[in-house]
Amino acid sequence: MTNPRFLYLHGFASGPRSKKGVAVAEHYGGRGVDIDRLDLRLPSFEHLRVSAMITEVRRRIGGDRDRAVLFGSSLGGLVASRVAEIDARVAALVLLAPAFDLSRRWRARLGEEGMARWAETGFLEVDDLTTGEKARVDYGFFQDLEAVDGNDGALPDVRVPTLVLHGTRDDVVSIDRSRDFAEGRRHVTLHELDDGHELVASLPWILSASESFLAAFLGSAARS
């Protein structure tokens, strides 16, 4: 069995150079572990597709005998969970404010009129956190998200050791579904942090907690 690969999955409108992604890579790099920060703006940000993200993550895990530990932030947390649900090569998860139940959250955020307008015009204007500018995301993103993640509120059926870190003051992705995800699952550890969605203030604690949680995997992955 090969040492696990460590992959970082960024959130919606973000990218591999996100502050959290860079911090995770630098922290673990200092301990001899390479973090591969994936670019999940696929096939492009304007035509973003969650199904394409899942395909890319599974490709980057490697061959049939390879394993991976996945870090996922927000949308990346949802993607990581859906990959773990279907791919036995995923050995463990670290989820930062995972965007569970995302299609229903989009509907609640935009309302019926907003959703109808998005479907009619074909595009929704959003803030692109990578460029710092306004950008468009097509309605196909939502249709693909709903096909992948469903609209019934069902949470991913994850069976691997999972650490969830979520802010109690998160006003983008409420902590409620992370609590639901952790409840009754002995392999899931939830830490509730006094922080918002970005979790920037909690980064030092997150890095320490994730390192402790992944100790068994880090021992075999660290470079000599």
Instruction: Name the pTM for this structure.
Output: 0.95
Residues near 152 by beta carbon (within 8 Å), at least 6 away in sequence:
none
- Residue 43 near residue 49, CB atoms below 8 Å: yes
Closest CA to 54 of 156, 186, 207: 156
Query: To which CATH superfamily is domain 5-101+157-221 assigned?
Result: Alpha/Beta hydrolase fold, catalytic domain (3.40.50.1820)
Residue 223 confidence (pLDDT): 53
pLDDT at 1 exceeding the cut of 70: no
Helix (H) or strand (E) holding 9: strand 5-9
The whole-angstrom separation of Cα 50 and Cα 180 is: 22
Residue 220 confidence (pLDDT): 58
Residue 224 confidence (pLDDT): 40
Mean per-residue pLDDT of the chain: 95
223 or 203, which is more confident: 203
Mind listing the pLDDT tens digit for each residue in 118-175? 999 999 999 999 999 999 999 999 999 999 998 888 999 999 999 999 999 999 999 9
22 pLDDT band, cuts 50/70/90, is: very high
Helix (H) or strand (E) holding 8: strand 5-9
Residues near 198 by beta carbon (within 8 Å), at least 6 away in sequence:
19, 20
User: Cα dihedral sign for 59, 15, 77, 110?
Assistant: negative
**163 alpha-carbon distance from chain centroid:** 12
Residue 150 confidence (pLDDT): 86
Q: Assign residue 18 a region (left: φ > 0; alpha: ψ between -120 and 50; beta: otherwise).
A: beta
Locate the domains of the chain by residue range: 5-101+157-221
User: What letter represents residue 110's amino acid?
Assistant: L
What is the average pLDDT across 10-30?
Answer: 96
Reported as half-sphere exposure (CB side, CA atoms, 13 A), residue 98 has a value of 29
